[in-house]
Copies of this chain bind each other. A is one copy, B any other.
Amino acid sequence: MRYEELADLPCSITRPLVLLGDRWTLLVLKEAFAGVRRFNAFRSHLGIPRSRLQDRLTRLVEHGVLARRPAEDGEHPEYRLTRKGHDLYPVLMAIRDWGDSHMAPDGPPVHYRHTGCDGEAHVKLECDACGTRLSAHDVTPQAGPGLR
């Protein structure tokens, strides 16, 4: 129970990571953003063991990231992103930007294009007051209300 206790720390990086920080969870979510909804579809795309997939899906449902619906037409359940899950898209896109920059010697395997536009989607860190583009050097941490 040592590691799970990290989720109680007042840190908005640590807390999500206790949920998301493992081999499969973010990969499952990546598939979900690609439109995958069915149990066996996740399984065949990722090669994840069934029991592991079951664990991860259940946990994501418990945390409100996915919703399990008994399916609308057929009988087979669907796992769909909730609003909360949908909000994770920038995380995956930030990872992808990094992957394209540093782990894609032949260029990006996939372009993520603004639909109906020539541009590509990229993640940017900005100051919400002055709009300046920021890097780690420009940011200063400061105590907030959620600090116990």
Chain A residues with a Cβ under 8 A of chain B: 2-3, 6, 10-17, 20-27, 30, 33-34, 46-47, 64, 84, 86-115, 117-130, 132, 134-136, 138-148
Using A21-B22, A23-B3, A130-B114 as known contacts, say yes or no to A15 and B123 having CB atoms under 8 A apart: no
**Contact A123–B125 (Cβ < 8 Å):** yes
**Which of B16, B24, B101, B142 contacts A87, CB < 8 Å?**
B101
Query: For the complex, what is the distance from the CA of A136 to the CA of B91, rounded to whole Å?
Result: 11
**Contact A114–B127 (Cβ < 8 Å):** yes
**Which of B26, B110, B136 contacts A142, CB < 8 Å?**
B110
**Contact B30–A14 (Cβ < 8 Å):** yes
Interface of A is mostly: mixed
**Which of B10, B91, B109, B123 contacts A147, CB < 8 Å?**
B109
Q: Which residues of B contact A136 (CB under 8 A)?
A: 33, 86, 89
**Contact A87–B91 (Cβ < 8 Å):** no
**Which of B89, B120, B125, B142 contacts A111, CB < 8 Å?**
B142
Query: For the complex, what is the distance from the CA of A101 to the CA of B91, rounded to whole Å?
Result: 13
Which 3 residue pairs of A and B lie closest in terms of their CB atoms, listed nearest first?
A: A119-B129, A12-B99, A107-B145
Can you list 16 pairs linking A and B with CB atoms under 8 Å apart?
A: A12-B95, A12-B104, A13-B26, A13-B95, A14-B27, A15-B103, A17-B27, A34-B141, A89-B136, A91-B95, A94-B94, A104-B146, A109-B147, A114-B139, A115-B139, A121-B126
